[in-house]
Structures are given as structure tokens and as C-alpha cells.
A and B are shown apart, each in its own frame.
Chain A
């Protein structure tokens, strides 16, 4: 319950009755208006950068640098989008990024879920210790392992390919394992016992009882994994050199390096890069938000 909900709490009688009184209370009506004002103000602050990006991306070059800066324009144009698409092989970057993100999702779905099953649904000695170890690895700064892992990939000649980004995804990630484990624990044991009585193996119970019931958590994992892979910057920066293999992140970075002051085209490119993620988020927002609440981290 909201702590700031002053008005509605204060009109209530101690026993919590007379709910209809809320509607009649003039103080509450005024509070309602104030609340909308506060929320609209906050929303405006968060949405304003989007408005700037969109308008900048739709302005002709000579109208972007105006003093004072304005949101309106005399003429709107798609030229910046055309310029961005001509200056870089956007479709190619899009394909590369979508490929990496999709394989990441598949890898994490397969690996994290089966490990989470072991931690949540198989009773074995050492399980709690393993969970503790998995959680502890989340505290380890990636910088500690980054250099030896890079050296390892370079020794077997795989830097410059996607494999250093993709192969680790098939070994589960601490965050996803923890998230799924929290969810799996909520699945009633009775359902599993029923299957066990019929002689089903753990692999079978995992596949045909737990996974189907865990759909919301698996969707949340997919959205997270997809978004992180889509956004990732450091690892592609380290491992990918060939411009044909650039992801959108690296593509936008190299575009800025060459065309820094062309803000119209840059904002157009930033818009194009963000749209797929915003779409994924809007479609799956419920599961996404639930996933955050389930683990406490993004």
C-alpha cells in the first residue's frame, strides 16, 4: 500500500468502513488532481528525451542547430533516416544482432532452466552450497575473468568470431538460474509427486511438468536475455573487428566516430536501434516486470 496515499487513509474511520465517503470528501478530490499533476510531471521528465530524439531525427539539417533549441520545425523530413541507412549497413547489423540475441535466448533457456530444476526440485546433498556458490559468482567483477578468457579464445584462434559471445550462453547464467529457481520453487510438489508415482524420470518431469508450468518465468528470461544481448557493448567491442560482423551497438558506435556532429542521422539511427527493444518490452512488459520483482535485480 502506498505511503503517500495520505488523503484516502485519513478519511477512513479507524475500522476501515465507509469506503463511499472517499468519493464525497472534497479533500480527496483535490488530492486526486494533485496526484495527477505530480505523475504527469514525472512522466514528462522521463518522456522528454524521447520527444527530443524523435523531433531531432525528423528535422532537416539546417533546423537542428537553432538557438534557442526548439522542438518544432518548419519542415519535417525523413532524410536523416535515409542518411543513416546509407551511411551504415543497418540491415546487416540488425541481422547480426538479432542472430546473436536469438541464440543467446535459446542457450540460456536450455541451460539455466535445467540447472534451476536441480536446485529447486531435486533434493540432494550439496544443493544449498551450490546455490550459494552461484549467487556468490554474481558478486565477482567480470574484469577479473575477462582477460584470461580473452587470452583463452585468442589462443584457440576464435577471437573475431561470434563464438566467444555465444558459447558461454549454453552454460547458464547465475542471474537466470536464480530467477528460475525462485519460480520453480513455487510449483507445488504434489504435481511432481503425481508424475513420480507413475514412474516418470526427472528429465521427463522437467520437460513435461515443470517447463510448461513455468512459462511466465521462461518468457521473462527470454526478454531479459534478448535485451541484454541486444544492448551489450563491451564484449562485442573486444571480440569483433570485422565491420561485416558489427552488432547494432558497435555499428552505432563506429557511426558516431565518423559522423559525430550529424545529430539528425545519429538520432535516427538511435531510434531505429531502440524500436525493436521497445516493441519487445511493450509486448512482454508484464513478465519482464515480474522477473525483476522476483530477483530484485535487472
Chain B
């Protein structure tokens, strides 16, 4: 009994040691730093809750929080819907199905720095192919990268190109829906939409909830794409036109590594943690009656 605990701990020790060094101690330190003024070169000065008070009155803090919430509340549903639609299409039985799946997944493999620059070129207001296509359709041609109203939709559009991993998860979930349910629905006279709405959707709802939580948590940490889309020069860490690309992770980076306000940035990190926890709690709460678990 005791020996098995010892063995278990021994084999798990790499993670446990790493957890203490790289997570537990830093979490405690971060909580402490958030109560200090700290610029890396002098010892931290204890200031109580002053950083949090300053955050409440910091316009850029609110701006960055709203930018990130925009991407989460609008971007996550849009990209998951696209991933689900792609998965539905790609689960149609045709010859060469694997090839189509490969095509849709391929962009997900492109390094994020390369992908972002590719989209800066595609979204170029004057020479860009996206606006060329929109022009051919006779709709507006926004200045994606210059107009503060359009920079976040540009990020969401970019994100649609790399929904491959959510798509694969949905594909796996769709495969697990038993064929007999569809057959029963057909006997009851269900059309394609009714089958999707009353068979597919309830049965894959736990996966949708899971993907929504994961995608939301990742989006709250969003940094690289916004950093690179707004980039004007080396280490500019600019927030783009009128700070429309100043997402939370980017403002935190500015404060920590450009301004060296480590205490202030730590307070921001803690606010982010609470936002993430609150968001997850709300998602679980709201979905309680809408998610169907086959075992119930």
C-alpha cells in the first residue's frame, strides 16, 4: 500500500517537481508581485491593492479587456461554427474524402508567424486578394488593417483558416453518432435539418461545450496574431490603429516587458485568471440544460 504510493509518486515526480518550480512557486510569487511596484532592478515595493485600483481607472486596460472579450464572444462561436460546418461537409461519404480533409487541415500546420504575414498580404487594402474577391462580389472593400472597426474581424477571419484541430475533434464526434438514430429519425419523417437539430446536435453537445471552453480559454490568452498584425517595427508591440488590436495579452506584455512594470502586469494576470474562471463557470452554468449526456 505505502510502497505503491511511493512508486506512484516517484514515477510522477518529474511533473510534480516541475509543477512546484514552474507553476506553484510562480503563482504565489505572482500574487505577491501584484501587490508591489517592481521594475526588475530594484526590490519589490509593497503597495497593497494600489495596482488593482490603478487598473480600474486605466482606459487601456478596459480597452484591452473589451478587445479580448470581442474576440472571445464573437470569434469563438464563429470559428467553432465554421469548424463544425466543415466537419459535417467532410464527413460526407465520397471517394477521396481523406484528401479533402487533408486540404482543410493543412493551414493549421503553418507556423503562426508565417500565417499572420500571409494574411497581412491577403488583406492588403489595395493589392490584397480578399478585397479583390469582395469587389468582384460587389460588396464593400474594408481597409482590414487600417480601419479600427475592421482589425478584429480581420483576426477572426484569419482564425477561420486554422480551425483544423476543432474540426478533427468534431469529425471524431460525428463518427460516434450511432447510425440507428438517423434511421429512426428518417422513419419518423425527419429531413436533413431535423436530423441535424434533433439527433446530431444533442449527441455531440458535450464535445461542443468542451471545445467552447478550450477555445475561450485560449482566446483569453490571445497574443501573437494581434502582436504581428499590428506590428510596425521591431519591438513596437503596438496595439494597431487606435489600439483596436491591443488585446489583453498584448497590453500585459507591454506593461511587463516593454515598460518593466512587473507588479502592474502581475495584477493584470490575476484579473485574467479570474475572468477565465468566471467565464468557465458561466459556460458550465448556461449549458447545464442544453448539453445532453448519453449516460443520463
Contact = CB atoms under 8 A, between A and B. Distances in A.
Interface of A: 1-6, 8-10, 12, 14, 16, 32, 35-36, 38-39, 42-43, 46-50, 52-53, 56, 64-69, 111-112, 114-115, 117-119, 122-127, 130, 133-134, 137, 139-152, 154, 168, 170-172, 174, 177, 202, 206, 227, 230-231, 233-234, 238, 248-249, 252-254, 256-258, 263, 266-267, 269-271, 273-274, 277-278, 281, 285, 289, 292-293, 296-298
A65 B110 CA distance: 25
A130 B12 contact: yes
A296 B121 contact: no
Given A3-B199, A171-B21, A256-B231, A248 B30 contact: no
A231 B199 contact: no
Contacts of B195: 3, 6
Interface residues of B, number: 112
B17 interface: yes
B111 A296 contact: no
Nearest to A152: B26
Given A52-B121, A148-B33, A238 B257 contact: yes
28 contacts: A3-B182, A9-B186, A14-B183, A14-B187, A36-B94, A42-B103, A49-B119, A52-B122, A52-B129, A53-B118, A137-B19, A139-B276, A143-B268, A145-B27, A147-B26, A148-B25, A148-B27, A152-B26, A168-B22, A174-B15, A233-B112, A256-B117, A256-B231, A258-B234, A266-B121, A270-B113, A277-B111, A296-B169
B284 to A, nearest CB: 12
Contacts of A281: 106, 109
A225 to B, nearest CB: 14
Contacts of A151: 29, 33, 40, 262
A148 B30 contact: yes
> Which 7 A-B residue pairs are closest in the complex by CB-CB distance?
A171-B18, A124-B8, A298-B165, A118-B11, A148-B26, A2-B91, A270-B114
A144 B21 contact: no
Nearest to A270: B114
A111 B109 contact: no
Contacts of A267: 117-118, 121
Given A3-B182, A289-B168, A252 B113 contact: yes
Interface string B164-180: 11101101101101110
Most buried by B among A10, A174, A230, A274: A274
B293 interface: no
B111 A4 contact: no
Nearest to A149: B26
B61 interface: no
B73 interface: no
Contacts of A171: 14-15, 17-19, 21-22
B262 A147 contact: yes
A206 to B, nearest CB: 8
A65 B14 contact: no
Interface in B62-113: 86, 88-94, 100, 102-113
A201 B89 CA distance: 49
Contacts of B9: 118, 124, 126
B108 A298 contact: yes
A257 B117 CA distance: 11
B25 A124 contact: no
A154 B40 contact: yes
B11 A39 contact: no
B113 A233 contact: yes
B265 interface: yes
Nearest to A206: B11
Contact of B224 (A52, A137, A174, A233): A233
Contacts of B270: 144
